[in-house]
Amino acid sequence: MSRNAIATPVIRRGADPDIPLLATIEKSADERFRDWPGLEWIATAGDVFPARRLRDLVRTGLVLVADAGGCDGLVGFLAGEAREGCLHLWQIAVLSPWQGQGIGSRLLAGAGHFAISQGLATLTLTTFRSVPWNEPWYRGRGFATLAETEMPPHLRTLLREEGEGGLPVPLRCAMTLILTGADRPPSTGAHDPLAGPDVGPPASDGAHSSRADPRRPETGPV
Ligand SMILES: CC(C)(COP(=O)(O)OP(=O)(O)OC[C@H]1O[C@@H](n2cnc3c(N)ncnc32)[C@H](O)[C@@H]1OP(=O)(O)O)[C@@H](O)C(=O)NCCC(=O)NCCS
């Protein structure tokens, strides 16, 4: 099925067979940084969220995938886990040709729905300041940038660790979204996971393999 003719991807819980496909999505998504002065290295380095951690998060946290079905298969994912009463989002990525179609917003809405179902009232994350598809994109979805004094301890620790790991500290920020009433991620239409329980369960192994693009690499560097 051609990209222009497909139905809206389904947002569903990720499962082990999905994990090897996510590195390709992340590398494609990170191509956005190739033309951003000072952050080109994100595209050239090709580093991805470790597959081992993603497998853990399938069991102990949240992995959501955007599944376009057919030969297109998976086109986006989000990973997070509970930290200090919040759902901390570790990564969100949408395959480059699929960006700007509301898939990232729907993954975020799915995370909000999951958090509420788990009694977690806040989404947290760290990201790059000012890069249009990072801090401003989250702000457009209701997140607020925190001053250091406002940060829960896990965000302060994370920013410090990011600096120790070589990320440029002045360019990083921590953000939060309190999931109450109007502060929930914005509705994104009929497939909005917050509008109803439309975050599907993981595809069964058989169902997934019939949907996945057989031409995709089995795994990426992790
Ligand atoms: C951040 C990222 C996941 C967003 O994914 P996306 O699918 O492009 O996000 P959306 O389509 O929901 O939003 C992008 C824009 O498309 C617009 N859009 C187009 N069609 C839309 C639709 N049908 N529904 C909602 N928004 C739509 C939105 O208005 C939005 O514009 P805005 O930011 O000016 O409001 C994606 O840019 C990405 O993978 N980036 C690289 C990886 C990265 O930086 N991740 C974040 C790490 S902290």
Tell me, in angstroms, the distance from the centre of ligand 1 to residue 206's CA: 30
Ligand 1, atom 10: nearest CA belongs to which residue?
102
Beta strands 122-128 and 144-145 are unpaired
- Average pLDDT (133-141) is 98
Tell me, in angstroms, the distance from the centre of ligand 1 to residue 95's CA: 11
With 50 as the cut, is the pLDDT of residue 219 above it? no
pLDDT tens for residues 181-204? 544 555 544 444 444 334 666 765
pLDDT tens for residues 144-188? 999 999 999 999 999 999 999 999 999 999 999 999 754 455 554
Q: In which residue are the tokens 């040709």 written?
A: 97
Pocket of ligand 1 (CB under 6 A): 29-30, 32, 92-94, 99-105, 127, 133-134, 137, 140, 188
**Residues forming beta bridges with residue 44, ordered by sequence position:** none
The model carries a pTM of 0.84
What confidence score (pLDDT) does residue 154 get?
Answer: 95
Type of residue at 155: L
Report the alpha-carbon distance of residue 162 to residue 77 in Å, rounded: 22
Ligand 1, atom 48: nearest CA belongs to which residue?
127
For 24-104, strand residue ranges (E) read 62-67, 74-83, 86-94
Which residues, in sequence order, are CB contacts of 44 under 8 Å at separation 6+?
34
Tell me, in angstroms, the distance from the centre of ligand 1 to residue 214's CA: 27
pLDDT tens for residues 2-48? 445 556 999 999 999 999 999 999 999 999 999 999 999 999 998 99
What confidence score (pLDDT) does residue 186 get?
Answer: 54
CATH code reported for the domain at 3-211? 3.40.630.30
**Residues forming beta bridges with residue 175, ordered by sequence position:** 125, 145
Residue spans per domain, the chain = 3-211
